[in-house]
């Protein structure tokens, strides 16, 4: 593993590279208030066994210090695009989880030339995708409520300014209050083959998971129409937080999908 920083859009942006140096890389984009370890710690070693993996830490998360800019999916996607251009990656597979999945979808919409395959875990393209009341409860998210959590512990260990934890919590709340819809026609226009992953007890409604699958050409009788480019995986006995820890289910699905 090699960890490096790149100057991107005013950020001192951290990323690390695992696995072989050749081939199309798999870029990992973590969830909110998380970083590489808490989002992908269980999966990353297995993913990197046979492919190059680039794990990116987004604005204000992990080793990437915050700047005076709100957290928004669009600006985070701009950062990822700029990073891939900066490090000379003309095409990549993207694997985003939660907030990172929204960022990955935005990258695929804006720069289809950059994306070979797309894995979106626990993604919603509008507020209706969440269970009722989920976003209304965002004010219950406080630094005190997160005290002692793996997310806080990771931040305190890695962040350039550990004292900014409370500010990050507030920025994530602000982002959740101001989520911008990704129009259905734009999502449906994603050209990269896409694997959608959800927990059966996720914060995303299962109906929304199926809706997204249909937007990408899924939900057909494959024996007659043929298999679509999109795939849908619903992980049993799985919550939002535990989606990326389901290694035994995810590794075969991801390996088969990426080929």
What percent of the chain has a predicted confidence (pLDDT) above 70?
100
| pLDDT value of position 181 | 96
Question: pLDDT tens digit string along 96-140?
Answer: 999 999 999 999 999 999 999 999 999 999 999 999 988 888 888
Domains, in order of start, for the chain? 2-253 (3.40.50.1820)
| pLDDT value of position 220 | 96
Question: pLDDT tens digit string along 10-43?
Answer: 999 999 999 998 889 999 999 999 999 999 999 9
Question: pLDDT tens digit string along 175-233?
Answer: 999 999 999 999 999 999 999 999 999 999 999 999 999 999 999 999 999 999 999 99
Q: How far apart are CA 259 and CA 255, in angstroms?
A: 6
Bridge partners of 2, per DSSP, are 17
Sheet (strand 115-121) strand order? 2-8, 11-18, 53-57, 26-29, 92-97, 115-121, 194-201, 231-239
pTM of the model: 0.96
| pLDDT value of position 61 | 98
User: Do residues 29 and 104 lie in contact, with contact meaning Cβ atoms separated by under 8 Å?
Assistant: yes
**Among 14, 37, 143, 123, residue whose Cα is nearest residue 73:** 123
CA angle (195, 201, 203) in 5-degree steps: 80
| pLDDT value of position 1 | 81
Confidence label for 91 from pLDDT (cuts 50, 70 and 90): very high
| pLDDT value of position 172 | 96
Q: How far apart are CA 57 and CA 14, in angstroms?
A: 6
Bridge partners of 29, per DSSP, are 56, 96
């Amino acid at each position: 593993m090699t960890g490096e920083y790149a100057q991107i859009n005013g950020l001192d942006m951290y990323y690390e590279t695992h696995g072989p140096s050749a081939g199309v890389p798999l870029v990992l984009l973590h969830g909110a208030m998380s970083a590489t370890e808490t989002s992908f710690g269980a999966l990353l070693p297995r993913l990197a066994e046979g492919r190059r993996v680039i794990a990116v830490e987004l604005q204000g998360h992990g080793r990437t210090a915050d700047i005076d800019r709100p957290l928004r999916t669009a600006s985070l996607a701009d950062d990822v695009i700029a990073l891939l251009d900066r490090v000379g990656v003309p095409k990549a597979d993207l694997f985003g989880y939660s907030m990172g999945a929204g960022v990955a979808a935005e990258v695929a919409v804006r720069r289809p030339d950059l994306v070979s395959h797309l894995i979106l875990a626990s993604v919603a393209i509008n507020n209706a995708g969440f269970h009722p009341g989920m976003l209304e409860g965002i004010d219950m998210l406080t630094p005190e409520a997160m005290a002692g959590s793996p997310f806080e512990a990771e931040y305190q260990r890695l962040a350039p300014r550990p004292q900014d934890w409370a500010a990050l919590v507030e920025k994530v709340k602000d982002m959740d209050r101001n989520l911008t819809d990704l129009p259905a026609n734009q999502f449906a226009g994603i050209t990269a083959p896409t694997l959608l992953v959800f927990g059966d007890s996720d914060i995303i409604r299962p109906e929304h998971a199926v809706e997204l699958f249909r937007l990408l050409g899924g939900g057909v009788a494959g024996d007659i129409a043929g298999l679509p480019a999109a795939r849908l995986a619903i992980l049993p006995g799985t919550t939002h937080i535990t989606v990326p820890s389901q290694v035994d289910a995810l590794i075969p699905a991801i390996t088969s999908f990426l080929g």
